[in-house]
Amino acid sequence: MVDFIVNFIVSNPLFYTLVKILSIVLPLLGAVAYLTYAERKVMAAMHLRQGPMMVGPFGLLQPLADGLKLFSKETILPSKSNKVVFVVAPILTFILSLLAWAVIPFDEGMVLANINVGILYLFAISSLGVYGILMAGWASNSRYAFLGGLRSAAQMVSYEVSIGFVMVTVLLTTGSLNLSDIVLAERPFWMDMLLFPMFIIFIVSILAETNRTPFDLPEGESELCGGYNVEYSSMTFALFFLGEYANMILMSCLTVVLFMGGWLPPLGIEISWLSWVPGIIWFGFKVSTILFVFIWARATLPRYRYDQLMRLGWKVFLPFSLLWVVLVAGILVGTNTLPVL
């Protein structure tokens, strides 16, 4: 019976791809659910609270209860809203947050679509994320939502520029746009050190790109009482929520792939028992570390003011990353270590 099913799946390429897609999407949704749990627990620990603890042992079933609650609520369509765009916006956000996962390499060869321009694909998809928010803000026909949407659009476009330059710097040292090749590219230790400032810029920029604290101005509950998603309820709200957290995990994956060596053991240690651990465990471990930084920032940092956010993006990160691109390129050419294609 098992043989039959396996044979059927492998012999049908379309079906096989479907199974592969499901085996990425389902764990991803689970990860999103438990990321919210981890966020609440970690933040609670930092605030000296207990966090969720009533539903299930240690509150482990809390995300399921939350999901069920959102399912069972009524979807409200505001009467003055633009109905079609209003409904399309959360769907778009959610689809885009899942679409990008096709090119993420979880382990050597463990990738859905190993395309040549993987990183450009990721960049393209993540730059589309702004439309969901902008459309939601406009279609709600509410001042708060509209302001949130506009803020978010300006913020994401600004920080995409510096993310682009960080990617260019990393690509210069790897000589490939394929994510698996980027992981496998060997860099000398001093080059890793040289890329460290870019790593910091990247972390801060992905905080802004995913609209997380300290750059969560699109939500800004103290000024905009929730921002772009203020008119949303039930499943439409849940889709925004899922999309945001899936994007967080995605950006963490991207950080791991670009800077932290993906599925390889950390810091290039070659101890036999360390390389015995499967690559996907290392990958998950590294991604969790970055996600912890996300939550850590949320628990400890106050929100940026909007003009300072723009100043940081355009006047600090952009010139610095531009300079660093030239510097790294110059050093690569000077030491004759430019990767040859």
Partner 1 sequence: MIEALAFYMFATILIMSALMVITARNPVYAVLFLILAFFNAAGLFILLGAEFIAMILVIVYVGAVAVLFLFVVMMLNIGQSNVKTGLVKYMPVGALVGFTLLGELIWLYTSWDISKYAVHQRLAPILAEDSEISNTHALGEILYTNNVYLFQLSGLILLVAMIGAIVLTLRSRKGVRKQTISEQVSRERSDVIEVKHVGFGKGVQ
Point out which span in 94-102, 128-136, 182-190, 329-337 binds partner 1 (CB under 8 A): 128-136
Task: Give me the residue label for tokens 């230790």.
Answer: 189
Query: How many CA atoms lie within 13 Å of 290's alpha carbon, on the beta-carbon side?
Result: 27
| Residues in contact with partner 1, shown as a per-residue x/- string from 50 to 89 under the rule CB under 8 A | -----------------------------------x----
> Cα(209)–Cα(100) distance, rounded to whole angstroms?
15
297 binds partner 1 (CB under 8 A): no
- Report residue 239 as tokens: 């889709």
Q: Smallest distance, Å, CB 338 to partner 1? A: 13
Largest CA distance in the chain: 65
Residue count, binding to partner 1 (CB under 8 A): 25
Q: Pick from 95, 128, 329, 331 the residue near partner 1 by CB under 8 A.
A: 128
> Cα(28)–Cα(47) distance, rounded to whole angstroms?
28
Residues 247 and 95: beta-carbon distance below 8 Å? no
Q: Smallest distance, Å, CB 239 to partner 1? A: 18
Q: Pick from 86, 101, 123, 317 the residue near partner 1 by CB under 8 A.
A: 123
Task: Give me the residue label for tokens 């394929």.
Answer: 178
Q: Which of residues 146-205 bind partner 1 (CB under 8 A)?
A: 146, 150, 153-154, 157, 160, 177
Q: Smallest distance, Å, CB 182 to partner 1? A: 14
95 binds partner 1 (CB under 8 A): no
Q: Smallest distance, Å, CB 138 to partner 1? A: 5
Scanning 175-276, the segments in alpha helix (DSSP H) are 179-184, 189-209, 221-224, 234-259, 272-276
- Report residue 321 as tokens: 């990353």
293 binds partner 1 (CB under 8 A): no
Q: Smallest distance, Å, CB 17 to partner 1? A: 12
SS3 234: helix
Residues 118 and 267: beta-carbon distance below 8 Å? no
Q: Which of residues 230-259 bind partner 1 (CB under 8 A)?
A: none
Point out which span in 53-61, 112-120, 236-244, 290-298 binds partner 1 (CB under 8 A): 112-120
275 binds partner 1 (CB under 8 A): no
Q: Pick from 36, 127, 234, 289 the residue near partner 1 by CB under 8 A.
A: 127
- For residues 215 and 282, which CB has a smaller minimum distance to partner 1 in the complex? 215
Q: Single out the residue of 88, 155, 90, 166 nearest to residue 127, CA to CA.
A: 155
12 binds partner 1 (CB under 8 A): no
Point out which span in 120-128, 229-237, 238-246, 265-273 binds partner 1 (CB under 8 A): 120-128
21-49 as b/e: b if 16+ CB within 10 A: eeebeeebeebbbbbbbbbbbbbbeeeee
- For residues 140 and 236, which CB has a smaller minimum distance to partner 1 in the complex? 140
Phi-psi region of 220 (alpha: psi -120 to 50; beta: other; left: phi over 0): left
Q: Smallest distance, Å, CB 171 to partner 1? A: 10
Q: Smallest distance, Å, CB 117 to partner 1? A: 5
Q: Single out the residue of 73, 183, 89, 95 nearest to residue 145, CA to CA.
A: 89
Cis check for the bond before 105: say yes or no (omega within 30 of 0). Answer: no
> Cα(179)–Cα(263) distance, rounded to whole angstroms?
12
| Residues belonging to the chain | 341
- Residue ranges that bind partner 1, judged by CB under 8 A: 85, 115-117, 120-121, 123-124, 127-128, 130-131, 134-135, 138, 146, 150, 153-154, 157, 160, 177, 307, 311, 341
